[in-house]
């Protein structure tokens, strides 16, 4: 059991709801992952189309906490407005804040992100900012009042894994009291395990599961990887060395010789 933003959770795996081949596979994958936090995007739909009611009915049935996001927003105003709408629809003050600054790699706009963060915190939102692995930006977000920060592993949807382990380790070291969730770029279960071994509190995945040929099995694999990574971190990893060290020392070890005739 651990706590994030005043909520107690068992799972350290957050999972998204986009890109699945069908709603049924999405639901099976979420359940297989064991995740208790699912991200959802606000879609602007006309009232006469039902506003996506059937989708919301499905995901509500999972029983997980909603983490709405401002995916696709490119300005502070758009992100703040989307967050306000999401709070009304999902009845939560949690918001995964995205302010995209580049259309090619979907890199967050650090200046707009920080400005939107300050505005939303002033409106009593619990902001989960999606950012790059920039230590100074993460520090500024924490200083602005974020109790959770979500640096990327690599560009969103790229599946490239942890491109800058040094940066991520430094963020973890310098922000010991901030809950850190690796978000974006996770491509395989071992990426998630590595992030948890570093001491990150959780990981958020979507594409790696939804685009797998077998999303349900992949979701289960991520569940196990996260559990293994966290257990390894809590147990304490052995230090790396530049030289070999025998696991069975010879000093004091008896040597057996054949009997003499």
What stretch of H or E contains 255? none
Helices and strands per DSSP (H, E), number in the chain = 9, 10
Q: Is 96 a catalytic residue?
A: yes
Q: Which helix (H) or strand (E) holds 239?
A: none
Are 172 and 197 contacting, i.e. CB atoms less than 8 angstroms apart? no
CA dist list (Å): 162 to 97, 176, 248, 259? 21, 20, 34, 57
Under 8 Å between Cβ of 32 and 223 = yes
Kindly name the residue from 74, 77, 96, 260 that is annotated as catalytic.
96
141: alpha, beta or left, given left = phi > 0 and alpha = psi -120 to 50? alpha
Question: At 203, is the secondary structure helix, strand, or coil?
Answer: strand
Q: What number of other Cβ atoms are within 10 A of residue 80's Cβ?
A: 22
* Residues 223 and 11: beta-carbon distance below 8 Å: yes
Quote the DSSP letter at residue 243.
S
For every residue of 135-169, DSSP letters joined together read HHHHHHHHHTT-SEEEE-SSSTT-----S-HHHHH
Q: How many CB atoms lie within 10 A of CB 75?
A: 14
The catalytic residues are 96
């Amino acid at each position: 059991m651990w706590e994030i933003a005043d909520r107690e959770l068992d799972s350290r795996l957050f999972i998204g709801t986009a890109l699945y081949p069908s709603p049924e596979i999405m639901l099976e994958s979420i359940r297989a992952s064991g995740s208790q936090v699912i991200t959802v995007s606000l879609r602007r739909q006309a009232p006469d189309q039902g506003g996506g009611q059937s989708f919301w009915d499905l995901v509500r049935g999972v029983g997980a906490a909603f983490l709405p996001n401002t995916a696709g927003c490119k300005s502070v105003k758009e992100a703040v407005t989307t967050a306000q709408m999401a709070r009304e629809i999902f009845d939560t003050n949690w918001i995964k804040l995205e302010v995209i600054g580049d259309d090619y790699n979907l890199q967050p706009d650090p200046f707009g992100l920080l400005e939107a963060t300050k505005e939303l915190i002033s409106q009593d939102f619990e902001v989960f900012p999606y950012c790059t692995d920039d230590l100074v930006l993460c520090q500024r977000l924490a200083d602005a009042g974020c109790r959770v920060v979500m640096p990327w592993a690599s560009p969103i949807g790229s599946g490239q894994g942890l491109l800058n382990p040094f940066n991520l380790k430094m963020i973890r070291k310098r922000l010991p009291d901030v809950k850190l969730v690796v978000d974006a770029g996770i491509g395989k279960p071992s990426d998630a395990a590595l992030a948890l071994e570093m001491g990150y509190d959780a990981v958020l995945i979507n594409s790696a599961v939804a685009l797998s040929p077998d999303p349900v099995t992949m979701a289960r694999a991520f569940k196990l990887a996260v559990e293994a990574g966290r257990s390894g971190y809590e147990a304490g990893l052995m230090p790396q060395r530049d030289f070999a060290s025998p696991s069975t020392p010879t000093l004091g070890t008896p040597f057996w010789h054949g009997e003499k005739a």
